[in-house]
Structure 1
């Protein structure tokens, strides 16, 4: 990971268009698992108003744009969730453009966002998404999680869910 410059910037009104476009790429990328169809205008249906409310602080949650060497390369979305009887943050979505995958950026994102304080987090992975499952299996082993508990049965159909504790 030498010479790697990752920066994480909160989504605000001024950079919301970039976030919205990246979310379209994300929807395309995960459409195999989500089974989402395109709208007649050729875009995926996203709750733009909700995400704009996140960007302006009117809704709970956090959205961040990711930059690798000052080039926009992805995003992260975190939202509060209630799972297994507790209210905790969920690393709801993380997306890295294909060009930037395999560089360890997702690990850096986890270290910078999840490991800033000791707490529990919710992780949900599409059961059929082998790449995401492999990534998280490696992350659970490589990163200093205090515990990783699989939720059985999963509370969300089609997903594997975990509650992870940060040291």
Structure 2
């Protein structure tokens, strides 16, 4: 996690503490891992952890702004109010450019799993550029949602294959 925070500091402004570490609670990370694969998954290759993916379930009926619901309903009519979100996906630099992120998303979007979002922090230009290049390789329907929908994030909507 320290490397994740280090890399994000380029756009987040996060500073290290007096102990030389980023502010990160190991107990929180362990608790997230214990919630099971519906929330967090470690990415493993060759017997070691090479990254992680954080997932969220969004209930669009509780989203105050109808614009997001309208955009998603126009993209995938009848998808309902439940949306899965790839909230964070991190791969260690030595394991990048091997297709791990794209393959992770491909495996998450199982047939019949409906509507998904990929969110990148608005200031994380590298992540946004990556997904703009990578999403066409998935071979799935997707759109980049309008920037004005969310002040903090850039969003992509993806449709899982039909069951």
Task: State whether residues 33 and 126 of structure 1, in contact with CA within 8 Å, keep that contact through their aligned partners in structure 2.
Answer: no
5 Å matches for 1:85-124? 85=69, 86-115=81-110, 117-124=112-119
For 1:135, the equivalent position in structure 2 comes to 130
Task: State whether residues 88 and 120 of structure 2, in contact with CA within 8 Å, keep that contact through their aligned partners in structure 1.
Answer: no
For these two proteins, the number of residue pairs brought into alignment is 143
TM-score, with structure 1 as normaliser: 0.71
- Superposed CA RMSD: 2.5
5 Å matches for 1:1-167? 23-57=1-35, 62-82=39-59, 84-85=68-69, 86-115=81-110, 117-157=112-152, 159-167=153-161
Higher helix share: 2
Q: Structure 1 regions of 5+ residues with no counterpart? A: 1-22
TM-score, with structure 2 as normaliser: 0.73
Q: Structure 2 regions of 5+ residues with no counterpart? A: 61-67, 70-80
Aligned with 2:141: secondary structure?
strand
Task: State whether residues 119 and 166 of structure 1, in contact with CA within 8 Å, keep that contact through their aligned partners in structure 2.
Answer: yes
Mean alpha-carbon deviation: is it higher for 38-47 or for 103-112? 38-47
